[in-house]
């Protein structure tokens, strides 16, 4: 049974939270990667950012439907979601668009579990951790490539 250790990419390109969105785009294109773990100054994982996060920044803002009742504004959709969308549109750094709760795996995570996590949780990239340190990353391309072997 294949594990993350056998299919992961070991050379992991990481970015810092204060990196500009423009520079992030350059890093992704130059390195031909779809995303990167976001690490702090001590190299601790603080999030993950993907092409999808960049693309969402360019989408049109969906204005929430609201009703006014007795001078109170009631959001028919999540006000929090609207505020998050607005923040992403105005983003200038990775910190503004990254996903803070990155789903991670260990080197021993099986290929079947990786595929399940990616599918069920709609994740394109999974950082591989050993003792809270990034030792690799598994992307959808790695999973597909392992099926060819």
Q: Which residue has the tokens 């294109």?
A: 29
- 80 φ, ψ to 5°? -60, -45
Q: How many CA atoms lie within 13 A of 21 on its CB side?
A: 19
pLDDT tens-digit readout, 28-74: 999 999 999 999 999 999 999 999 888 776 544 444 455 555 666 55
Percent of the chain with pLDDT over 90: 64
pLDDT, residue 61, reads 41
Q: Which fold has domain 4-148?
A: CBS-domain (3.10.580)
* The pTM of the whole model exceeds 0.85: no
Q: How many CA atoms lie within 13 A of 12 on its CB side?
A: 23
């Amino acid at each position: 049974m294949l594990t993350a250790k056998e299919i992961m990419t070991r050379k992991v390109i990481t970015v810092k939270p204060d990196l500009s969105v423009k520079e992030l785009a350059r890093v992704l294109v130059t390195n031909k990667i779809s995303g990167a773990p976001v690490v702090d100054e001590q190299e601790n994982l603080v999030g993950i950012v993907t092409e999808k996060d960049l693309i969402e920044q360019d989408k049109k803002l969906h204005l929430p439907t609201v009703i006014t009742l007795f001078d109170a504004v009631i959001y028919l959709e999540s006000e929090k979601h609207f505020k998050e969308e607005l923040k992403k549109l105005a983003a200038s750094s990775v910190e503004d668009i990254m996903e803070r709760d990155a789903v991670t795996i260990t080197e021993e995570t099986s290929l079947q579990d990786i595929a399940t996590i990616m599918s069920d949780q709609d994740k394109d990239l999974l950082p591989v951790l050993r003792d809270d340190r990034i030792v690799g990353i598994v992307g959808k391309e790695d999973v597909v490539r392992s099926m060819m072997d």
